[in-house]
Amino acid sequence: MFHPRSLGRLLALAACCLSMHAHADPRYSVTVVGTADSAGFGINAFGQVVGYLGTPGGGQHAFLYDNSATLDLGTLGGTASIAWGINDAGQVVGGAQDLAGNQRPFSYAGGTMSDLGTLGGPSGYATGINNHGQIVGAGDTAAAGTRAFLYSGGTMVDLGTLPSSGGFSSNANALSDKGWIAGGSSTGEFTPPETPFHAFVHCCGNTLADLGTFGGQYSEAFGINELDEVVGIAATSTFRVDHAFLYSHGVMHDIGTLPGDDYAQAFDINNLSQVVGSSFGSGQGFLYEDGAMVALNALIDPASGWTVVDARSINDAQQIAGTACMSGACYAVRLDLVSPVPEPDAAAMLVAGLALLVARLQRRAQRKQLRE
Q: What is the pLDDT of residues 115-159, one digit of tens each?
A: 999 999 999 999 999 999 999 999 999 987 899 999 999 999 999
208 within 8 A of 168, measured Cβ to Cβ? no
Q: What is the mean pLDDT of residues 25-43?
A: 97
User: Is residue 267 over pLDDT 50?
Assistant: yes
Give percent of the chain above pLDDT 90.
Answer: 77
Residue 106: Cβ within 10 Å count: 30
Least confident residue range of 269-273, 317-321, 337-341: 337-341
The answer to whether the beta carbons of residues 311 and 277 sit under 8 Å apart is yes
From CA 264, how far away is CA 287, in angstroms rounded? 12
- pLDDT at 195 (0 to 100): 87
Residue 204, pLDDT > 80, answer: no
Residue 297 is given by DSSP the state G
pLDDT (0 to 100) of residue 291: 97
pLDDT value at residue 194: 86
> 142 exposed, middle or buried (CB, 10 Å; 0-12, 13-18, 19+)?
exposed
pLDDT tier for residue 165 given thresholds of 50, 70 and 90? low
Provide the pLDDT for residue 12: 42
Residue 284: is its pLDDT beyond 90? yes
**Residue 327, amino acid:** S
Which pLDDT score is estimated for 262?
95
Q: What is the pLDDT of residue 148?
A: 97
Q: What is the mean pLDDT of the chain?
A: 88
218, 196 contact by CB (below 8 A): yes
Q: Residue 356 pLDDT > 60, yes or no? A: no
Instruction: State the pLDDT confidence band at 206, using cuts at 50, 70 and 90.
Output: confident
Per-residue pLDDT at 92 = 98
pLDDT grade for 43, boundaries at 50, 70 and 90:
very high
Q: Crossing angle for the helix pair 346-371 and 4-24, nearest 10 degrees?
A: 180
Whether the per-residue pLDDT at 293 is higher than 70: the answer is: yes
Checking if the pLDDT of 310 tops 90, the result is: yes
Q: CATH number for 35-337: choose from 2.40.320.10, 1.20.1260.10, 2.130.10.150, 3.40.50.10610.
A: 2.130.10.150
The vertex-57 CA angle with 56 and 59, nearest 5°, equals 85
Res 19 pLDDT > 80 = no
Q: What is the pLDDT of residue 25?
A: 85
Report residue 363's pLDDT band, with 50, 70 and 90 as the boundaries. low
| pLDDT beyond 70 at 361 | no
pTM for this model (two decimals): 0.85
